[in-house]
Amino acid sequence: MKPRDLSDHVAYQAGRGIEEVARELGRDPSTFVKLASNENAHGPSPAAVDAIEDAAGSVSSYPKAAHADLTAAVADRWAVADDQIWLANGGDGAIDYLSRATLEPGDDVLVPAPGFAYYGMSARFHHGDVTEYALAREDDFSQDAETVLEAYDGERIVYLTSPHNPSGSTIDLEAVAEIADRTDEETLVVVDEAYGEFADVDSAVALISGRDGFDARDDVAVLRTFSKAYGLAGLRLGYAIVPHAWAEAYARVNTPFAASELACRAGLAAIEDDKHVERTVATVAEARATMREEIDALVWPSDGNFVLVDVGEATPVAEAMQERGVIVRDCTSFGLPACIRITCGTPSETDRAVETLNEVLEDRG
């Protein structure tokens, strides 16, 4: 007996931590800064840390069945009904739930290229297949309905990422509505807003609820996560916001206890700490502006907590930066061998990244 052949899966590039990189280079971890995984430079909300400490003694019990208090707080935040919130083990877990809820063997999903690898992986785990629509670097990776619809061929799920990883581009809600209108009734349009808090654009939840002049629809879902603006990436907490008509499917796709008690308690404290999110978003906006102004290379405009930079040859530049203590993301695995992605850090981390990159670029001539 062998595991099934998963060789067509693109391996998820989890990115290495500071400890691992420092050990390999034989250096002191405290001299490194990691700006490679779009984590929160300010860490978690202190209120979330307190909540984890308070809950620590109760981890011998299973999580509360429905995580009702967190679900209610999230639903309240979006002005939707509680049963429209599918809590999951990170945004990745929410992607899996949507795969489970929609895909029959052989169904395809349509994903952006470049784009987030887990959409395709999840589809393949669920015996589906993947087709791509291209976001062109010549067009600043801009997203519109036509680009998606030209590539669309009856796929069961269409993934839109707004803000998009790794470019930071967004798609407007009229375009999302048009895509949903012009795709089959059996197609779900998933708008991944993992980086939504950093963008000055409206959430596609308006299309699910029928607000802001849009009709309520049952063919759009939105993904959100606590990993980015809330700084809880290590706890694994995310959710899908689904149409009313989808609510009861959750009980059939949910992995029992997928969202841990610690994650839910911390999530509840975090969602109530608006100040921490506001501070995070302000730091990100400042870092994006600094990087666009001061990096001596093409930096695309971004609505995420990161920027994409054209450095000519990503791998040697990322390696040279790492050698100087700044870990960034080499975007070769995204199909962008000329680009690196730099996460927005604290002001001093961002300054160090800018300086280091400019030095490396100058050295390379």
Q: Kindly report the CA angle at 157 between 156 and 159, in degrees rounded to 5?
A: 160
As a whole number of angstroms, the distance between CA 303 and CA 110 comes to 23
Considering the complex, state which of residue 116 and residue 152 has its C-beta at the smaller distance from ligand PMP: 116
**Nearest 5°: phi and psi at 354?**
-60, -50
Rounded Cα distance, 27 and 23, in Å: 6
What's the min distance (Å) between Cβ of 49 and ligand PMP? Answer: 18
- Pick the closer one to ligand PMP by CB: 280 or 361: 280
Place of tokens 């530049």: 317
- If one asks whether residue 194 binds ligand PMP (CB under 6 A), the answer comes out as yes
Both tokens of residue 232?
């809880």
Q: What six digits make up the tokens of 354?
A: 């800018």
CB closer to ligand PMP, 48 vs 320:
48
Contacts with ligand PMP by CB under 6 A: the residue count is 13
Verify binding: residue 165, ligand PMP, rule CB under 6 A: yes
Tell me if 36 sits within 8 A of 329, measured CB to CB.
Answer: yes
Taking phi over 0 as left and psi of -120 to 50 as alpha, with beta for the rest, 205 belongs to: alpha
| Ramachandran class of 33: left when φ > 0, alpha when ψ lies in -120 to 50, beta otherwise | beta
Q: Per-residue x/- mask for ligand PMP, residues 212 to 231, rule CB under 6 A? A: -------------x-x----
Contact between 170 and ligand PMP per CB under 6 A = no
196 touches ligand PMP (CB under 6 A): no
Report in angstroms how near the CB of residue 260 gets to ligand PMP at its nearest: 14
Q: How far is the CB of 103 from ligand PMP (least distance, A)?
A: 18
Residue 345 is a binding residue for ligand PMP (CB under 6 A): no
Show contacts with ligand PMP in window 28-87 (CB under 6 A): 38
- Which residues sit at the interface with ligand PMP, rule CB under 6 A? 38, 90-92, 116, 161, 165, 192, 194, 225, 227, 233, 238
